[in-house]
Chains A and B, each alone.
Chain A
Amino acid sequence: MIEAHSLSKKYGPKTAVDDVTFTVRPGLVTGFLGPNGAGKSTTMRMIVGLDRPSGGSVTVNGKVYRDHAAPLHEVGVLLDAKAIHQGRSAYSHLLALGATHGIGASRVREVIEMTGLDTVAKKRVGGFSLGMGQRLGIAAAMLGDPSTLILDEPVNGLDPEGVMWVRELVRFLASEGRTVLLSSHLMSEMAQTADHIIVIGKGRIIADAPVADIVSGATTASVRAVSPRAAEMARLLNSPDVTITSIDGETLEIVGLTSAAVGEVAATNGIVLHELTPLRGSLEDAYMNLTADAVEYRTGVFDPANALQPAAHADPAKIDAPHEHTHAASHAAPTHAAPSGPEALR
């Protein structure tokens, strides 16, 4: 259980974390989501006492982290894969870390085996790939068998098998009743791993809700209809509760009606439909909508042509678009800019 109350962090004149209050509950995987520079890592560092809060407080299992008798048994933390001396072997690093708490070589071998580092354990960390560094960081986090795990971007640099492994591991750890907080700037990753999501942008909490609520709350379901008599359709569907956008001469985007209702209207009036697709917002869209005003580093001027690209990249990650092609332009509302180009979405 992690409880943050009015937590703030200022670096000189810059506010990294601005008066955030949240609770991370045991038995759930809580996702900490936000664009780069939103304050995720700073908040995580404050939880384990590496950064001193400028205001407010944060406790783990009811106590400030530094007051625990066995900190590694309370919280296992993966801050970044490179928080390790490059000249030491993975085994020596874990042995030295564990020694502070009287954790012996047998537990060190256990976490090495568990993270699949057996073959490289005696090699110096300097030669590790990013993925191996992440595995070592996770091994270090698990060392004290902690009741709370804080993992900052744990899947960064992992191969697909590694990503799967982390996902299963955190889900399993939460099922054991542990508290799991993991951060990511990837909404799709969160959707597949987290039960609950805290969205942070520009140091403030934007949303704090179960995954499903985040999606439904921040996106509007719509229907796409393609017909040679689109203009006539638009006139027939028109009502105060319905918003109709004409994408091109034959394509309409309808918000406020179900696909069934649109189909009924078409049939009643003998209008031929070439396509009728219910569109549901993906998590990526929800995320973009939520953080549109809270992106720290914007990419220049908005260009509708470029806006197509991030959506196209995000496509494989969409979790609940029921039909194969979601018209990219439909969700690229002309008012929001991509956080930092296509990379931010991958």
Chain B
Amino acid sequence: MSTATARRSTTLPSSPIRLTAGGIIRSEWIKLRSLRSTIWAYAVILVLQIAIGLLVISFTVSNLDSSRGQAILQSPELATAGATAGVVFAQLVVSVLGVLVISGEYSTGQIRSSFAAVPKRLPVLWAKLAVFGVVTFIVSLVGILLAYAVTYPILANAGHSSNLFDSAVFLPIIGAAGYLALIGMLALGLGAILRSTAGGIAASLGLLLVVPVIFALIPVDWAHSISDWLPGSVGPAIYQMSGTFEWWQALLIMIGWIAVVFAAAATLIRRRDA
């Protein structure tokens, strides 16, 4: 390397550069798509949705007996039962990815590069939240629609037909994709608080899998009432239109969880040394 090369490349750019919200969002999009873990996790989500949808619907159809069979075939829920069957597994993958989006920066030291470029710091968190939320929603929606598409012929053969543009069909499908995006965002917030991959994954999977079991083991009513408010419990109300809450109440509860977690994450990120 000679001084001549250095001279040529240190010329001032013609247009003045500035830090912008759009630029930070673009930066987070580049970061998300340039990691293998992202590609793998989204591929697994797609495969899970389709495979579990096929499995559930094939099993249901082949076990229809004459007495209850007609009742099941008439039920409107059957149209989306297969399409949303994978959500309960996909939410685990989405949680892990959500944690990795931020903990990966802390464990590698990348966060110092990110915060040196955006010294106000919080725009990085909001951009990550927005980009990851939108991308996860889209990928989940594609997976669920594919699961709907591959289970449709099986159901049609058995005598059940549905219309995707029927609100009883598209609302649960959009709800399921939205729920997965929200679960992923919650995990991202927990990762931002804990700054560690292991800790973040333990916290978010613990909240989904372990905490409900603990509440279920406490033999008093209030424990069960609290259990209904957990993120994993309100999910089915959003994508199966069943459970204690209306879908919009469940959605508000999820958003409340995310708001609380991100308020804590934002406070910590502003205060802590990077």
Contact = CB atoms under 8 A, between A and B. Distances in A.
A and B co-occur in one complex: yes
A145 B9 CA distance: 9
Interface residues of A, number: 55
A303 interface: no
B35 A88 contact: yes
A87 B119 contact: no
Nearest to A88: B34
A5 interface: no
B7 A172 contact: yes
Contacts of B273: 45, 50-52
B108 A102 contact: no
B3 A85 contact: no
Contacts of B112: 45, 50, 79-80, 83
B113 interface: yes
A192 interface: no
B20 interface: yes
B10 interface: yes
A213 interface: no
A50 B120 CA distance: 10
A69 B18 contact: yes
A111 B114 CA distance: 18
A114 interface: yes
B10 A97 contact: no
A96 B17 contact: no
A73 B1 contact: no
Nearest to B16: A70
A71 B274 CA distance: 17
A144 to B, nearest CB: 6
Main SS at interface, chain B: helix
A87 B19 contact: no
A145 B11 CA distance: 8
A71 B19 contact: yes
Most chain B beta-carbon contacts within 10 A, residue among A100, A101, A113, A168: A100
A168 B3 contact: yes
A42 to B, nearest CB: 9
Nearest to A168: B3
Given A72-B17, A114-B6, A145-B12, A96 B109 contact: no
B31 A70 contact: no
A98 B13 CA distance: 13
Contact of B23 (A75, A92, A100, A173): A100
Interface in B64-120: 104-105, 108-110, 112-120
Interface string B1-43: 1110111111111001111100110111011001111000000
B119 A96 contact: no
Contact of A50 (B3, B104, B116): B116
29 contacts: A45-B112, A49-B115, A49-B119, A50-B116, A51-B274, A68-B119, A69-B18, A72-B116, A72-B117, A80-B109, A84-B113, A86-B108, A87-B36, A88-B34, A92-B34, A93-B113, A96-B27, A96-B28, A96-B31, A97-B113, A101-B20, A102-B18, A114-B6, A115-B1, A116-B1, A144-B17, A145-B13, A145-B17, A172-B10
Given A97-B27, A100-B117, A116-B1, 12 more contacts: A69-B19, A70-B17, A83-B110, A84-B110, A85-B108, A86-B108, A93-B113, A100-B23, A101-B19, A111-B9, A114-B9, A172-B10
9 pairs of A and B residues whose beta carbons are closest in the complex: A92-B34, A66-B119, A99-B27, A114-B9, A96-B30, A165-B1, A85-B110, A83-B109, A49-B119
